[in-house]
Amino acid sequence: MFYCGFLPNFGLLQNIFLQMRKKIGTQQLIAYILLIAFAAPVLVFIFQKCKGDSSNSEAREIMEAHNRQQQNNKQTTATSFYKEGELDFLDTNGKLTKKISIEFAATEEKRSQGLMYRQSLGENEGMLFIFDKEEPQSFWMRNTYITLDLIYVNANKEIVNIAKMATPQSEAQILSEKPAQYVLEVNGGFCDRYQIKAGDKVQWITQTTQ
């Protein structure tokens, strides 16, 4: 049997034991004692489990609140465009058709952030995503408020596919369809306005700090 701190002394416990034995018999009393002895650890486990689940629930609520706060912080601190270079569009004959300013997304953190939470993008501005190797690429528009054209470019800097007018905040996958090492995001409708098409090429320079 298990120890209960509220029992005053062993004499009282002995009296209770003797009275119960007279009423229900020794064998049945022993059975009750064994039942209590086996049930006690189970009850303690259930109590601790419920307490743990409650703590885990509180921890989840705290984590969810923290994540919401982080998202709000991202929304309020979304940066405006920062020019880091210039990019030229060249037609299949090598003729310059359009020049824009670009911001680079060359790190995992920058690529993950992309243009999320931006409220606007200039007509002659874009973001160039740079990956380590040429392979099929997949983008989405989660937390992106601007309609975009996504221009997929291979390792030879040739445009292999253009996804036009991507829907803001959509979580649908936007596939490159062909391997690409670079992805350029510009305002929706840009490619139609300037006759940018698959087969054209791009080239860019990094802006040097004065």
Q: Which of 66-75, 165-174, 180-189 has the lowest mean pLDDT?
A: 66-75
Domain that holds residue 191: 85-206
Q: Does position 185 have pLDDT exceeding 70, yes or no?
A: yes
CA distance 66 to 60: 10
Query: Which among 22, 55, 76 is the end of a domain?
Result: 76
Query: Which among 49, 76, 103 is the end of a domain?
Result: 76
Angle between helical axes of 26-76 and 10-24 (0-180°, round to 10):
120
Same domain for 136 and 199?
yes
Same domain for 125 and 156?
yes
- Asked whether 161 and 153 are in contact (CB, 8 A), the reply is no
Number of domains in the chain: 2
Same domain for 44 and 101?
no
Q: Does position 72 have pLDDT exceeding 70, yes or no?
A: no
CA distance 155 to 158: 7
Indicate whether 2 belongs to any domain: no
Same domain for 102 and 195?
yes
Same domain for 90 and 142?
yes
Q: Which tens digits make up the pLDDT trace of 46-64?
A: 666 655 555 466 667 666 7
pTM: 0.65
Same domain for 161 and 107?
yes
Same domain for 103 and 50?
no
Same domain for 165 and 99?
yes
Q: Which of 17-21, 89-93, 139-143 has the lowest mean pLDDT?
A: 17-21
| 62/146: higher pLDDT | 146
Q: Please give the span between the terminal C-alpha atoms of the chain, in angstroms, as a whole number.
A: 83
Q: Does position 135 have pLDDT exceeding 80, yes or no?
A: yes
